[in-house]
């Protein structure tokens, strides 16, 4: 059980800009109708309720305010036009003086060790650690949508959890990691001098990327999305009727899987670890059954910052705060995925998609309007596995003074029928999954059996 002990609103410090307006790019417009990013970051930090209330919480409030000085859009709101029929009104992100970030302070009696374990756990219990989105309001011709809500929860004598509920229209996961790291650095150091010195040459950039073709795309995406009734998610998806579990692919496992591919396809010189891990999960899911159609889909986002692409020259900078995601889509017949050599086929298909659509700068971000069918759920009659997260930018490295995080849970995976999160485990990769209990049991068995060589499972249990 989790008990809320305080709710407050944190403003940026005095002296910041009085206002900031950011028009939405097509990257942002993509997410208008989709669910928020929901994440929980767990830390080991045994402390009493007195220390938490008297020292930790005041420090977090002060450091959050200082962090907002450098991340004003986080305190802002999405302004969505009530009348979308006119060409002159479009959604915009706005910060004005007086805007704040809601912060919830709570104490939980749940067992921290169980929550951060890898075995299957009931998904519903995690939502007490996640703040609800603030209520919507209206102002003149716009609906006002708060973009970020935060929660800090104490597990007395055990640790602390940071909960983030972020409207995806504001930014993607890489941007959230940048914000969280900034908050952590400022909290740990006691002021923003260390953060400023580390980022003096690359502070967060908020101005949306623009090119001749991107202006056209902004119009295309808005014309499509404005026809869908705007219904921002205000509640948590409980009951989920799901369990959550984490599966470890160690470096030794990944090496074995890559060897299987090279043995079956000796002409394939190199294959990415992402392709191998994703293919392994995808084929294990296909072998669980439950699908109805002949084809299955694997969809994965790819960060566009600092990467040569077909839209922006120079590329979007690495310190850009917002959404900047390309995507890969792979489709395979279920019978091929579930076959004995399905893993090899899936890995090849994913790797080929990455080589032709991601790594090729002339193709990456080319014709992004082609992904609108995904947004509009045109594949809803097919089983689709959606990948989220990336080992390239980790939530766990944010150190508030309590050390690196012990575990991260992406509750966003509960919103999709099939979704996986991917992160670093120290000795390989950790795959987070959310699904109904019976299916999770089948998936876990297939995942484990697939790593057997000669009847032996290498290493300890992967879940």
One DSSP character per residue, 296-337 reads EEEEEEEE-TTS--SS-SSPPPTTB-S--EEEEEEEEEHHHH
Q: What is the pLDDT of residue 381?
A: 65
Structure tokens at 204: 């967060």
pLDDT beyond 50 at 456: no
Average pLDDT over residues 353-367: 94
Average pLDDT over residues 87-108: 95
More confident residue, 427 or 430: 430
CATH 3.30.559.10 occupies which residues in the chain?
2-225, 243-457
In three state form, how does the secondary structure of 407-425 look?
A: EEEEHHHHHCCCEEEEEEC
In sequence order, the β-bridge partners of residue 60 are none
Q: What is the pLDDT of residue 425?
A: 81
pLDDT beyond 50 at 205: yes
- Please, which pLDDT band fits residue 386 given cuts at 50, 70 and 90? very high
Average pLDDT over residues 291-299: 79
Helix axes 437-449, 273-287, angle to 10 degrees: 120
Catalytic residue among 168, 192, 303, 414: 168
Q: What is the pLDDT of residue 380?
A: 63
Q: What is the pLDDT of residue 377?
A: 65
- Tens of pLDDT, residues 391-416: 777 888 999 999 999 999 999 999 87
pLDDT beyond 50 at 457: no
Candidate ranges 109-123, 257-271, 417-431; pick with highest mean pLDDT: 109-123
pLDDT beyond 50 at 360: yes
Q: Of 142-146, 186-190, 262-266, where does mean pLDDT reach its minimum?
A: 262-266
**Residues 187, 60 contacting (CB under 8 angstroms):** yes
**Residues 71, 17 contacting (CB under 8 angstroms):** no
Tell me how many helices (H) and strands (E) the chain has.
Answer: 13, 20
pLDDT beyond 70 at 91: yes
Q: Where are the alpha helices (DSSP H) in 226-364?
A: 251-264, 273-287, 334-337, 342-353
> Beta strand 101-108 with 428-435: parallel, antiparallel or unpaired?
unpaired
Rounded-to-integer distance, Cα 436 and Cα 123, Å? 10
CATH code for residues 243-457: 3.30.559.10
**Residues 420, 412 contacting (CB under 8 angstroms):** no
**CATH fit for domain 2-225, picks 3.30.559.10, 3.40.605.10, 3.40.50.2300, 3.40.50.970:** 3.30.559.10
Average pLDDT over residues 172-191: 96
More confident residue, 237 or 177: 177
Structure tokens at 363: 């193709």
Q: Provide, for the chain, the percentages of residues in helix, strand and coil under a 3-state DSSP scheme, each rounded to the nearest 5.
A: 35, 25, 40
Average pLDDT over residues 356-360: 94
Q: What is the pLDDT of residue 424?
A: 87
Q: What is the pTM of this model?
A: 0.94
Q: What is the pLDDT of residue 149?
A: 98
Q: What is the pLDDT of residue 144?
A: 97
Average pLDDT over residues 106-132: 96
**Residues 396, 408 contacting (CB under 8 angstroms):** yes
**Residues 120, 435 contacting (CB under 8 angstroms):** no
Q: Of 17-26, 122-131, 194-203, 315-324, where does mean pLDDT reach its minimum?
A: 194-203
pLDDT beyond 70 at 454: no
pLDDT beyond 70 at 293: no
Q: What is the pLDDT of residue 462?
A: 42
- Please, which pLDDT band fits residue 450 given cuts at 50, 70 and 90? confident
Q: What is the pLDDT of residue 378?
A: 60
Average pLDDT over residues 147-166: 97
* CB within 8 Å of 5: residues ≥ 6 apart: 53, 105, 106, 107
Average pLDDT over residues 252-279: 92
Q: Of 64-68, 371-375, 412-416, 427-431, where does mean pLDDT reach its minimum?
A: 371-375
Mean pLDDT of the chain: 91
Rounded-to-integer distance, Cα 68 and Cα 150, Å? 13
Q: For residue 57, which phi and psi values (nearest 5 degrees)? A: -65, -45
Catalytic site includes residue 253: no
Q: What is the pLDDT of residue 461?
A: 35
Q: What is the pLDDT of residue 460?
A: 35
Catalytic residue among 118, 124, 213, 399: 399
Question: What percent of the chain is modeled with pLDDT above 90?
Answer: 78
pLDDT beyond 80 at 131: yes
pLDDT beyond 60 at 50: yes
Owner of token pair 């990467």? 307
Catalytic site includes residue 223: no
């Amino acid at each position: 059980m989790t008990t809320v002990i305080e709710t407050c609103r944190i403003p940026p410090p005095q002296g910041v800009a009085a206002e900031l307006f950011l028009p939405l790019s097509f990257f942002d417009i993509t997410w208008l109708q989709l669910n928020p990013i929901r994440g929980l970051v767990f830390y080991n930090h045994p402390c009493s309720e007195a220390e938490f209330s008297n020292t930790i919480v005041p420090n977090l409030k002060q450091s959050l305010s200082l962090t907002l000085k450098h991340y004003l859009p986080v305190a802002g709101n999405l302004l969505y036009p009530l009348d979308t029929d006119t060409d002159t009104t479009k959604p915009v992100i706005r910060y004005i003086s007086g805007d704040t970030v809601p912060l919830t302070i709570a104490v939980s009696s749940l067992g921290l060790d169980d929550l951060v374990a890898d075995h299957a756990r009931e998904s519903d219990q995690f939502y007490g650690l996640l703040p609800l989105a603030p209520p919507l309001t209206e102002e003149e011709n716009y609906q006002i949508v708060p973009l970020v809500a935060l929660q800090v929860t104490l597990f007395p004598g055990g640790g602390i959890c940071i909960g983030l509920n972020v409207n995806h229209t504001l930014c993607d996961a890489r941007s959230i990691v940048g914000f969280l790291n900034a908050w952590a650095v400022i909290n740990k150091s006691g002021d923003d001098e260390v953060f400023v010195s580390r980022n003096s040459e690359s502070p967060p950039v908020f101005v949306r990327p623009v090119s001749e073709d991107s202006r056209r795309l902004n119009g295309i995406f808005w014309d499509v999305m404005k026809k869908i009734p705007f219904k921002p998610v205000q509640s948590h998806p409980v009951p989920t009727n799901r369990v959550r579990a984490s599966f470890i692919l160690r470096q030794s496992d990944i090496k074995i899987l890559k060897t299987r591919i090279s043995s079956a396809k000796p002409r394939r010189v190199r294959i990415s670890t992402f392709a191998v891990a994703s293919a392994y999960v995808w084929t294990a899911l296909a072998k669980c059954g439950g699908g109805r159609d002949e084809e299955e889909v694997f969809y994965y986002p790819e960060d566009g910052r600092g990467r040569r692409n077909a839209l922006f020259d120079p590329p979007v900078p690495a310190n850009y705060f917002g959404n900047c995601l390309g995507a890969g889509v792979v489709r395979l017949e279920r019978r091929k995925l579930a076959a004995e050599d399905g893993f090899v086929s899936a890995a090849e298909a994913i790797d080929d998609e990455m080589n032709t659509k991601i790594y090729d700068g002339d193709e990456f971000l080319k014709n992004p309007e082609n992904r609108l069918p995904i947004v509009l759920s045109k594949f809803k009659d097919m089983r689709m596995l959606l990948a989220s997260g990336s080992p390239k930018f980790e939530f766990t490295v944010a150190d508030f003074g309590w050390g690196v995080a012990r575990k991260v849970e992406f509750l966003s995976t509960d919103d999709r029928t099939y979704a996986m999160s991917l992160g670093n485990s120290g000795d390989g990769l950790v795959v987070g999954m959310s699904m109904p209990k019976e299916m999770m049991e089948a998936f876990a068995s297939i995942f484990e059996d697939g790593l057997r060589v000669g009847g032996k499972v290498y290493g300890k249990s992967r879940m």
